[in-house]
Structure 1
Amino acid sequence: MSKSKRLLDLMMTVNRKRKFTVKELAQEFDVSPRTILRDLQELGELGVPLYSEVGPHGGYQVLNERILPPIAFTEEEAVAIFFASHALRHYSSLPFETEAESALNRFYLYMPGDTRDRIDQMKNRFDLVSPVRQLESPHMAILLDGAIRQTVIAIEYESGGGSSSRHIQPIGIYARNGLWYCPAYCFVREDIRLFRCDRIRSADYAGGERRPLDLQHVHLGNWESHVRLKQDRVSLRAELSREGVRRCEAELWLARKLRPREDGTGWLEGDVPKSELPYLAQFFIGLGKEALVESPGELVAYMKKTLADIMRQYE
């Protein structure tokens, strides 16, 4: 095995093992311990964050900031990854904002000159536009980490009813219409609730204050079906024209409620939280004659009141 290939394989091995001894690596790569020591020194010079521990149970460990081995991308793959990350700039807050910007700059810096020229031209001709909201959500990183590690987070939450202290176990985070949301098990309500990330004023690990639940089977694709208390939800049904169907297809949150017909028309049907009725009223008013809300009656009432307020504004 050539030295360059051994170094590459060694980099992948230490990233996978996290903790190891020189003797273990020497046996695995069939080289002398002295050779492994030299290779580890070279990996350290290349930026792999290693440190050694002395003693009978000592060895080497890789710090949390691990360096991935080199990955070869085609030009098309590199450009696609660049623009996937570039499109996130429309959000004022990201759970990995600094890291995304660093990766984007590194991608751009190491691309050939002609590829950079191509990207510069594409920036003005390709975009994924999201609504720009100037609402900061500075705690998304800890919420995402809590969802991945199944950890309880202590938060201060600001809602329409005022500020409250909660212990939550996040399920994940997602963006919709320029805002970030976090479905989480709330230990105060003893059920799953949806939190607006910009309304979370503080967040920290709860430590041993609360024992986390086993929510590995609950994720962003099915969390709504695990909400136990349904009394705060109502049944929605709305008829849609062809144009109404097309416009609702662009709304990811409506995907499971949309029922298209063969002629292009369709309808919306499913449960929605009562707390979202004011937003839904604005949404259906925006659809105009392309939608006819049949139920719930509370939503129709919200729409009539909103339209009456608009009419009075222009009298």
Structure 2
Amino acid sequence: MSTSETFEQRLRNRAAGIGQLLEHILADAPESDEIARPPRLLQAMRHGVLNGGKRLRPFLVIESAAIFGGSALAARRVGAALECLHCYSLVHDDLPAMDDDDLRRGQPTVHIAFDEATAILAGDGLLTLAFDIIAAPETPLADREKTQLVLALSRAAGIGGMVGGQALDLAAEKDRPGEQGIVTLQAMKTGALIRFACEAGAILSAASTEDRQRMRRFGEIIGRAFQIADDLLDLTADAATLGKAAGKDAARGKGTLVALHGKEWAEAELTRLIDEATALLAPYGDRAAILVEAAHFVAQRKN
């Protein structure tokens, strides 16, 4: 990071680069072995993924890889893959059968802008595209690293990760979980993809097992911080600030750690998590400075 570039500027610049890459990937022309790209489906997929957003997860992939000298192009493509998977989850979560949201990142959700069937297919397309991007020859990685990334992302996104977390979240509307249940739910629904983002940088760089585990733990910590900050915002921010409906978890009676312990506890816990994350990255010295800033950003964000 140059001396004149702030963390927020770097985040925006990385986001712009990921957006351009996603626009290229979601071009009209079919790839080899694709027969055709239906225009309405493609338009809905673009609506779901090219609608702004901080691109935090790709940012974490890119900056984690930079610590270990990994390929910048590979990191960008893995980050774009992760963003496709993340956005698929948002498209599906917004559906009436799930969280029933009309607004996402300040714009109509995909099923509102198009229709429910198209939104389901757009999510399916983005999910599949994520693994396509990793496996594609344009991603300059050895097969070993690609296989490890596919496995790690599958485990983070599937039944024991994000999808399972969404199932627990839906169940929580009828049967509110206790504290450990909330921790498990949030680690799966939100934390697993953030954990993957940080671990992926080490994987694609062919870093040591110790480094991979260290980055995995860093991801778990900031994933927890992200969710606590999100729950705080859900209580205190308005829809215009969030770019989505505010206060919905409370309205649905869903339990959160913030609701359980209060605002002061949440703020103290965020400070503790930042300290733990910073200590974890200490062995990397100045190489990890940007990720330390990222931990602060996650905990202190306003939307």
Structure with the larger RCO, 1 or 2 (CA within 8 Å, 6+ apart)? 2
Query: Which has a greater percent of helix?
Result: 2
Whichever of the two has the greater Rg, that structure is 1
* TM-score interval for Structure 1 and Structure 2 normalised by the shorter chain: under 0.3
